[in-house]
Amino acid sequence: MSVTKHDKTNPVPNRASSASTARAEGLSINLATVREQWDFAQAVDRCLAHGINAIAPWRDQVMHIGLSEAARIVESNAVRVTGLCRGGMFPAADAERRAAAVEDNRRAVDEAAALHADCLVLVVGGLPQGSTDIRAARDMVAEGIGRLLPYARANGVRLAIEPLHPMYAADRACVNTLEQALDICELLGDGVGVAIDVYHVWWDPKLEQQIARAGAAGRIFAHHICDWLVPTRDLLLDRGMMGDGVIDLRRIRSVVEAAGYDGPQEVEIFSSRDWWKRPGDVVLSTCIERFNTVC
């Protein structure tokens, strides 16, 4: 049964038992985790079947089905959208392209608002082509978010800066620690916070201090989980299932909760050699099992 066959008066029935629903409570699935198995509608349908009622889609997945249809599916099935991935990519070599990036981010805000997303996740962007000035790139990030923020506030959308591991500083995100992200948040004020993705921040010696700082300011908007494999064969597409790597997920979660965040843990796994090749239902079942035993 597909969610695309149901309207607001006839949503997809939640086929999960009360026991499985309890096991999945507090769990969100970032739809990148099953992007090779299902489209948006199919993924929502199978998440509901497993008792998972929270998701985080990517913009291309929403675009594929259409924003109005995606919003209808979310609303008719009372699905929580813990985040929309992604906005950002602010630095550029000239003012015209920086302005175009802000305009694209305004469209992302519109999409997040239509889906009632908890936040719009920002992967901020790396160095402009030909540049070696990472400080200037970070200034462009702050400027770009500052230009976007009034529009996001007006539409009730929170912006979540996701600091990425330093290996991505050149091409994906020149903001690489929670400390750097929170400095930008403090500069810009209300409506901007952080998405804490363990894959990117687990190594940071200031992690606990900066999580506490984020919590004290009410700036923890999302918490993403997976694991860091040893060895990691592809730095982008070889994330591990929780429990298969070296991240102390329980400790990080305890610190996040002590900082005042009690929202869902969002599983986000890019895995071209493993989890993207397994049946989607196996992936979801494993996510639930590891969520309860490891996280």
pLDDT in tens, 195-223: 999 999 999 999 999 999 999 999 999 99
Specify the pLDDT at position 62: 98
Rounded distance between C-alpha atoms, residue 249 and residue 223, angstroms? 11
Average pLDDT score over residue span 25-37? 98
**Amino acid, single-letter form, for residue 94:** D
Residues 222-231, mean pLDDT to the nearest whole number = 98
Protein fold of 3-293: TIM Barrel (3.20.20)
**Residue reference for tokens 């990148």:** 32
CA-CA-CA-CA torsion for 79, 85, 87, 91, nearest 10 degrees?
A: 170
Asked whether the beta carbons of 195 and 119 are under 8 A apart, the reply is: yes
Q: What is the pTM of this model?
A: 0.94
Average pLDDT over residues 249-261: 98
Please give the angle made by the CA atoms of 180, 160 and 53, to the nearest 5 degrees.
Answer: 140
Residue 14 banded pLDDT, cuts 50, 70, 90: very low
Q: Is 126 helix (H, G, I), strand (E, B) or coil?
A: coil
| Confidence band, pLDDT 50/70/90 cuts, at residue 150 | very high
When the pLDDT of each residue in the chain is averaged and rounded to a whole number, the result is: 94
Q: How far is CA 228 from CA 96, 122, 153, 195, 237, in A?
A: 38, 22, 35, 18, 11
Q: What is the pLDDT of residue 21?
A: 62
Residue 124, pLDDT > 80, answer: yes
What pLDDT does 33 receive? 99
User: What pLDDT is attached to residue 75?
Assistant: 98
The domains of the chain are located at: 3-293
**DSSP, residue by residue, 236-248:** TTBPBPTTSSS--
Other Cβ atoms less than 10 A from the Cβ of 20: the count is 17
Handedness of CA 267, 273, 277, 278 (dihedral sign): negative
Q: How far apart are CA 18 and CA 20, in angstroms?
A: 6
